[in-house]
Every structure is written in structure tokens, then in C-alpha cells.
Amino acid sequence: MNKKKLLFEVQEHETIGDCLDRMKEAGYMPVRRMEKPVFEEKKDGGKTDVVPVRQTIVFEGKKTEE
């Protein structure tokens, strides 16, 4: 199935460059970069805090014309 747009997330074990290379190999070019925070709940006694743990980077890829 060929989609015109696809999302590519930068995995924990790869760099942004690795993700962009993976997109290129799949036939997509980046058109948008999104950063999304990942939160975790920390319980301290009876109090629950939500704290940011890390940031995930997601690229929206557009199918290249061939």
C-alpha cells in the first residue's frame, strides 16, 4: 500500500540523521517536524505529579515523485 504521507518517529537508538536516511530509503522526504513530550506520573505520598521524561521527534514524510 503506497501512502502519500507517513509519520516517522526518531527511535531511541538512532539519530535524527538516521531517521532521515530511513525516510529517504522508503521513498519519502520530510515536510514537517513535530516534537512531543513524554510524561510520567510520580507518586510522592498522597500526591501525584506529572513530570516530563523525554521528548520524541516525529517527521511527517511526503512520498517523493519518481
User: How confident is the model at residue 66, as a pLDDT?
Assistant: 61
Cell, residue 42? 510520580
pLDDT tens for each residue of 4-47: 899 999 998 999 999 999 999 999 999 999 999 999 998 888 88
Taking the model in full, what pTM does it have? 0.75
Residues 54-65 have a mean pLDDT of 92
Burial classification of residue 10, based on how many CB atoms lie within 10 Å of its CB (0-12 exposed, 13-18 middle, 19 or more buried) = buried
Cα–Cα distance, 27 to 22 (Å, whole number): 9
